[in-house]
Structure 1
Amino acid sequence: MKYYLSSYKFGNSVDSLKQMLPQGARIAHINNARDSKTVSTENRNSQLKEEMEFLDSLGFVSEHLNLRDYFGRESRLRHKMVSLDGVWVCGGNAFILRQAMKLSGFDNVFQELLLNNDYFYGGYSAGVCILSDSLKYIQFVDNPNDFPYTEIKETIWEGLNLFNYGILPHYRSNHPESTKIERAVKRCIDNKWPFITLKDAEVLTIE
């Protein structure tokens, strides 16, 4: 699998992103990190539209993949995801995103797709934090007790376990969560937890 991991939105390495996939590649946009009841439908839809249009402007073919449509239907999600060239996972609340991934079986399908060197995973903020071994690094950044889905009422602390360290976005940036990230950095240092930071506009690419 290849990765384009941004602190915020698409970052400053869009040229690299365009080269990671062929023109016409099908990318599913996953917007479930914004499923919190505190996020307005207008905001959720406008962000989705903006990001899908940007992906299309790069020459890709984007579509909305709502993990809610696959709760309890892992085999159906697997069939869908293997038909795609990759996914783009947006920011929001990483704990909510993790719930949606668990309920849909995305976490299991993700582990299977790791063996596909051509498959693409891109995203930012919550979509990047979710790749760590744990969500403890951002416990005081995102609300771990926001449960928009009736099927889950307990916090899931395990991430997708691609990295055995935390990734802290919005570091020293002009972002509303930057102050919380500073505290998260101190907490990681105090607890001797390994981590890396990303400033807004910075991107980590792995191929």
Structure 2
Amino acid sequence: MRLYLSSFRVGDHPDRLLGLLPGGPGRIAVIADAMDAAREDVRRAGVAREVDALAALGFRPQELDLREFFDRPHAEVERALAPFRAVWVRGGNAFVLRHAMARSGADGVLSARLREDSLVYAGYSAGPCVLAPSLRGLELCDGPQQVTEVWGAEPLWDGLGVLAHAFVPHVDSPGHPETELCAEVAAHYRSTGVPHRTLRDGQVLLVDGDGVYLLG
């Protein structure tokens, strides 16, 4: 399994992301559905920022909008992901992202590709957060009600279970607007005994096979 999980954007170790991809960076799918509750112009600008940052690293980024696969056979999103050796899952609302992954079938496809080690999963903030066993606790910083407001559906509380612990970004990150809320999430996990890792902006949690490294 290969994961590059950043607190914020690419983080301070892009060389380690490139190191997970023998043969060069190549194509990467940009999944921005954590922003599905945002205004469409704001969402487009967010996608463009990710595309530009990844292109600067030598990737050939292309957005994969999970909304296009809602309520369709899961084989369709599987085919769409097949050409990519990596995905970049950007931040936003973790509950909105989780809804999009489930409704499109991308959650099962990504989990399977990670188990067979045919894909690098990279991203930041909400992107890593949905890999936890559960999203409970994240309601302290992300609004689960946005799923109902946008899609008329109940939010999902289970994560993909790729990680054995919760992921808490932006902790001790002055200047990030959510640093105090994320500190509350971490405090909640400590008080309730939920296994978790906290990262400050710039740091990256790297998984490469059996190796797990906190960078920064």
Normalised-by-shorter TM-score class: over 0.9
What is the Cα deviation at residue 24 of structure 1? 5.0
The C-alpha deviation readout for 1:91-115, integer Å capped at 9, x for no partner, is 0000000000010001111221123
**Does the 8 Å CA contact 2:114/2:120 hold for their aligned counterparts?**
no
SS at the partner of 1:49? helix
Moved over 6 A (4+): none
Q: What is the match of residue 136 of structure 2?
A: 136
Q: What is the match of residue 71 of structure 1?
A: 70
Q: Which range is displaced more, 114-123 or 158-167? A: 114-123
Distance across 2 between alignment mates of 1:112 and 1:15: 26
Distance across 1 between alignment mates of 2:66 and 2:138: 22
SS at the partner of 2:132? coil
SS at the partner of 1:53? helix
The C-alpha deviation readout for 1:45-85, integer Å capped at 9, x for no partner, is 11211111221121111101000001122111011112211
Q: Which range is displaced more, 106-115 or 5-14? A: 106-115
SS at the partner of 2:140? coil
Distance across 1 between alignment mates of 2:187 and 2:114: 32
What is the Cα deviation at residue 149 of structure 1? 4.5
Runs of 5+ consecutive residues of structure 2 not aligned to the other structure: 209-216
SS at the partner of 1:23? coil
The C-alpha deviation readout for 1:12-34, integer Å capped at 9, x for no partner, is 00111122223352100001100
The C-alpha deviation readout for 1:131-174, integer Å capped at 9, x for no partner, is 00000131211001112553x52120000111221110000102
Q: What is the match of residue 28 of structure 1?
A: 29
Percent identity for Structure 1 against Structure 2:
35
SS at the partner of 2:137? helix
Q: What is the match of residue 106 of structure 1?
A: 106
SS at the partner of 1:55? helix
Cα RMSD over matched residues?
1.4
Distance across 1 between alignment mates of 2:32 and 2:81: 15
Runs of 5+ consecutive residues of structure 1 not aligned to the other structure: none
Q: Which range is displaced more, 137-146 or 92-101? A: 137-146
User: 1:161 aligned to 2:133?
Assistant: no
Distance across 1 between alignment mates of 2:118 and 2:54: 18
What is the Cα deviation at residue 122 of structure 1? 0.3
**Does the 8 Å CA contact 2:34/2:96 hold for their aligned counterparts?**
yes
**Does the 8 Å CA contact 2:114/2:121 hold for their aligned counterparts?**
no
What is the Cα deviation at residue 180 of structure 1? 0.7
Q: What is the match of residue 126 of structure 2?
A: 126
Q: Normalised by the size of structure 2, how large is the TM-score?
A: 0.90
Q: What is the match of residue 179 of structure 1?
A: 180
What is the Cα deviation at residue 42 of structure 1? 2.5
**Does the 8 Å CA contact 1:170/1:198 hold for their aligned counterparts?**
yes
Q: What is the match of residue 211 of structure 2?
A: none
Distance across 1 between alignment mates of 2:87 and 2:61: 9
Q: Normalised by the size of structure 1, how large is the TM-score?
A: 0.93
**Does the 8 Å CA contact 1:137/1:166 hold for their aligned counterparts?**
no
Count how many residue pairs are aligned between Structure 1 and Structure 2. 204
What is the Cα deviation at residue 118 of structure 1? 4.0
1:130 partner amino acid? V
